[in-house]
Structure 1
Amino acid sequence: MANKPLKLTLIRGLPGSGKSTLASTIDAVHLEADMYFVDKQGDYHYRADEIANAHRWCQQQTEYHLAKGSNVVVANTFVKQWEMQAYKELADKYQAALAVRVCSAAYPNIHGVSQDIIETMRANWED
C-alpha cells in the first residue's frame, strides 16, 4: 500500500476571522506563531519584540512535523504573500500538497488585537 501524500495547509486571515477554528477541524498537526507565546500553564503572553522568533519557531515546527511524515495546518495572518514563502518552500522540500485557505469571518479575536491594528492589516492585505 502506497503512503498517502503529505499535506500542508496554510490558513490566512485577519485576527478574529476564524483561522484557529478552521484549523482545529483539519486532521493535521495544528501550528500557529501565537503558540510561541503560550507558557507552560497555557497562558498567552504576547511580546512584539519576539514576533520574528515566533514565526521562525512556527516554520521550524512545520518542518519538523513534515519531516516526520505528519500533515500540518498553519494558521497565521499571512497578510502579505511573501509571508507564506518559507512554507511553500517546505511543501516543495517534503513533496507535500499545498492548500491555502482564507478566512474572512468577523469574530471577537482571542488575543486582544486592537481594531486599529486589524484595520491596518486589512489595508495591507494582499490577495
Structure 2
Amino acid sequence: MKKLELRLLRGLPGSGKSTLAKTLNLVHIEADQFFENDKGEYCFDAKLLSSAHQWCQSQCEYNLSHNRSVVVANTFIKLWEMDAYRKIAQQYNAELIIDTCRGQFKSVHNVPESVIKRMRKDWEA
C-alpha cells in the first residue's frame, strides 16, 4: 500500500501555492476555500479566519483518515501555524513534506499590498 502524504505549501499571497496544489494528484485543501460561496465566489471575512483554519484542518484529517493524501496550500507565515498539521501527519503516519513557494504573481484573492508587506516582514523561514 502506498504511504499517505501530507504536503504543506507555504508562501506569501501570489507565490503560486494554489496553482502548484492544483497540479498535484492529491486532495487540495486551503483555508480560502472556506470563503467560497455556492457560486464559487470568494467572500473573505476576517472574523471567520479562525473557523476557516479549523475547517481546513478537519478536512485534512478527514481525508487522511480515509486513506487519501492531501496538499494544504496556506500562507503559514509563522512556523507554529504548521504545528496542527504536523500532529495530524503523525497521527495518520503520513509523510510530511513542506514546500515554500516563492513566485511573484498577482494574488488571486486581491490581498492588499500593505498586508503582503506585513506578511513578508513577519515571515519565519
TM-score normalised per structure 2:
0.99
Size of the aligned set, in residue pairs, is 125
The residue that corresponds to 2:39 in the other structure is 41
Q: Which residue of 87, 110, 113 corresponds with 1:112?
A: 110
CA drift of 1:25 comes to 1.1
2:9 corresponding residue in structure 1: 11
Question: 1:18-49 deviations in whole A, cap 9, x for unaligned?
Answer: 00011111110000000000011111100000
Unaligned regions of 5+ residues in structure 2, if any?
none
Q: How does 1:1-127 map to 2 (within 5 A)?
A: 3-127=1-125
Instruction: State the Cα distance separating 1:102 from its structure 2 match.
Output: 0.3
Structure 2 CA distance for aligned equivalents of residues 5 and 26 of structure 1? 16
List runs of 5+ in structure 1 lacking aligned partners. Answer: none
Moved beyond 2 Å, runs of 4+: none
Give the Cα–Cα distance (whole angstroms) in 1 for the partners of residues 70 and 29 of structure 2. 7
Q: Offset of 1:120 from its aligned partner? A: 0.2
1:82, distance to aligned residue in structure 2 (A): 0.3
Secondary structure of 1:24's aligned partner: helix
TM-score (structure 1 length as normaliser): 0.98
**Displacement of 1:65:** 0.1
Displacement of 1:87: 0.3
SS of the counterpart of 2:23?
coil
- Structure 1 counterpart of 2:93, one-letter code: Q
C-alpha RMSD over aligned residues: 0.4
Amino acid at match of 1:80: K
For the residue of structure 2 that corresponds to 1:60, the secondary structure is: helix
